[in-house]
Amino acid sequence: MSGVGPITQDWEPVVIRKEAPNAAARKDEKAVNAARRAGAEIEALKKFNAGTNKAASSSTSLNTKKLDDETENLTHERVPSELKKAIMQARLDKKLTQAQLAQVSSFEICLQQLSF
């Protein structure tokens, strides 16, 4: 190996560390007991419906109660049948199909919007 130069050794220490435990490992019974022995502060919380087989929709929520308590009438006005019959008769008088009437109506609406 000519031209490579002198071979040297690197004697600096290399430190290899384990990764920090993930969330599942921190919840493990062994890890919790080890933390208790070490004097670490441990907080245990009971989650709502944890470990039960209840669906989220099975219990009544506040939104459901608000909807049940709502008393406002949320219907819109109906079109009178005379208007329906008048539109149908005018379309038949001009011998237009419903599709043709829709095309003509949409074109006229566009013209009205453009002309203000």
Domain boundaries, the chain: 81-115
Segments of the chain with pLDDT less than 70? 1-3, 48-51, 53-62, 110-116
Tokens at residue 48, please?
Answer: 């709502």
pLDDT in tens, 69-81: 777 777 888 888 8
Q: Give the per-residue pLDDT at 45.
A: 75
Nearest to 87, CA basis, from 96, 74, 78: 96
Residue 15 confidence (pLDDT):
82
CB-facing half-sphere around the CA of 54: CA atoms within 13 A: 10
The DSSP string of the chain is: -TTS-------------PPPP-HHHHTSHHHHHHHHHHT------PPTTTT----TTTS--HHHHHHHH------PPPPPHHHHHHHHHHHHHTT--HHHHHHHHHHHHHHHHHH-
